[in-house]
């Protein structure tokens, strides 16, 4: 009899962004706190990440929140995020997916009309509130970890694009953010290939020229994702953006490698938190003023800043973000011992 590994998951999308919520893989992860658990995943579970996110079980646009037992006695669960580019300490869209899956399957204690949860992440504790009607989650609100600005309008010299002013911000992950107009781009779906190419260059140059480190969490020390932003023409939306998740290796010296990646289908939760921090620093957003951020799909997350704080020597803000998730499937994935692709595969027709 062939030995098999069974992996249980619930697929959810938050404002269009797919998250494969891993419910039964927590015993694979070791560590006394979330930072150690994240490091353990990075060092030992990359094969699991590739198996679930790559073909034939996954596809380039997929992420996967891994649900873990809490490390704090007053928290309800922990989460580490599997992305195409590696493991991430926090993701707003993926946390919305995880909360939706856990509440709608009653994997934890659920109360209507509101279920309050505390979630341990490697970026800190996130307070979550799920609005529940007849067992369905109609909205998830996250009081995210503090966001802050590292630099505003920092000039970066980008091959093919020239000198571009960028913001370096933290909203749960580190982002480099630039205006679409400065890059000669339009934020529309038929410009996807051009957006991905510019965003890859933006990320690569920022990683090379602008070292970062979280003042309180020094293991979070890399600009993970690029955001390209601009105005929105949609009624009620305050801005539009595109975040690109890498799904292959890119090299500044090899322009043919700049085209690999996928667009975040959602307005990006942690990216929106970082964007609000930059807008507040510029005097463009007041405390408690709603900020409706739109994706290229036209879906939205709504955020606001509930206060200010300090992160070490840096000034920061306290972002809140709200959005909704929908369950799309229940799965039990199988890996047979003789499967020729135990870590999945990627081909150049879809992958970077």
* Active-site residue list: 91
- CA–CA distance, 175 with 85 (Å, rounded to integer): 14
- CA–CA distance, 335 with 341 (Å, rounded to integer): 9
- CA–CA distance, 199 with 110 (Å, rounded to integer): 40
Question: What tokens appear for 295 in the block?
Answer: 């994706």
Q: Are 90 and 82 in contact (CB under 8 A)?
A: no
Per DSSP (E only), the strands in 231-347 are 239-245, 262-263, 291-294, 300-311, 314-323, 325-336
- CA-wise closest residue to 200 among 267, 263, 150: 263
Q: Are 140 and 152 in contact (CB under 8 A)?
A: no
- CA–CA distance, 245 with 251 (Å, rounded to integer): 15
The 3-state DSSP class for residue 199 equals helix
- CA–CA distance, 123 with 273 (Å, rounded to integer): 13
- CA–CA distance, 137 with 130 (Å, rounded to integer): 6
Q: Are 277 and 144 in contact (CB under 8 A)?
A: no
- CA–CA distance, 286 with 192 (Å, rounded to integer): 32
Question: What tokens appear for 74 in the block?
Answer: 């007053």
Q: Are strands 174-179 and 223-230 parallel, antiparallel or unpaired?
A: parallel
């Amino acid at each position: 009899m062939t030995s098999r590994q069974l992996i249980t998951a619930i697929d959810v999308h938050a404002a269009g962004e797919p998250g494969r919520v891993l419910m039964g893989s927590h015993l694979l992860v070791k560590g006394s706190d979330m930072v150690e658990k994240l490091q353990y995943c990075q060092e030992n579970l990359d094969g699991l990440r590739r198996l679930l996110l790559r073909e034939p079980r996954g596809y380039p646009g997929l992420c996967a929140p891994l649900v873990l037992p809490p490390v704090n006695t007053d928290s309800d669960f922990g989460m580490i995020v599997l992305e195409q580019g590696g493991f991430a300490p926090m993701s707003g869209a993926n946390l919305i997916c995880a909360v939706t899956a856990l509440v709608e399957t009653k994997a934890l204690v659920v109360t209507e009309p509101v279920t309050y949860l505390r979630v341990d992440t490697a970026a800190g504790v996130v307070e979550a509130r799920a609005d529940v009607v007849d067992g369905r989650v109609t909205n998830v609100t996250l009081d995210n970890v503090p966001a802050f600005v590292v630099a505003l309008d920092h000039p970066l010299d980008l091959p093919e694009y020239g000198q571009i002013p960028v913001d370096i911000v933290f909203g749960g992950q580190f982002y480099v953010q630039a205006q679409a107009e400065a890059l000669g781009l339009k934020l529309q779906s038929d410009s996807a290939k051009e957006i991905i190419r510019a965003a890859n260059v933006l990320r690569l140059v920022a990683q090379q020229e602008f070292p970062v480190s979280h003042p309180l969490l020094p293991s979070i020390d890399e600009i993970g994702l690029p955001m390209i932003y601009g105005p929105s023409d949609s009624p009620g939306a305050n801005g539009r953006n595109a975040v690109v998740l890498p799904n292959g290796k890119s090299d500044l010296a090899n322009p043919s490698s700049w085209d690999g990646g996928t667009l975040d289908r959602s307005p990006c939760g942690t990216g929106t938190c970082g964007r609000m921090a930059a807008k507040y620093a510029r005097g463009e957003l007041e405390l408690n003023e709603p900020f409706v951020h739109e994706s290229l799909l036209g879906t939205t997350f709504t955020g606001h800043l509930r206060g200010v704080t300090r992160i070490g020597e840096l000034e920061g803000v306290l972002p809140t973000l709200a959005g909704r998730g929908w369950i799309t499937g229940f799965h039990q994935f199988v890996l047979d011992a003789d499967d020729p692709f135990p870590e999945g595969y990627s081909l150049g027709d879809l992958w970077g």
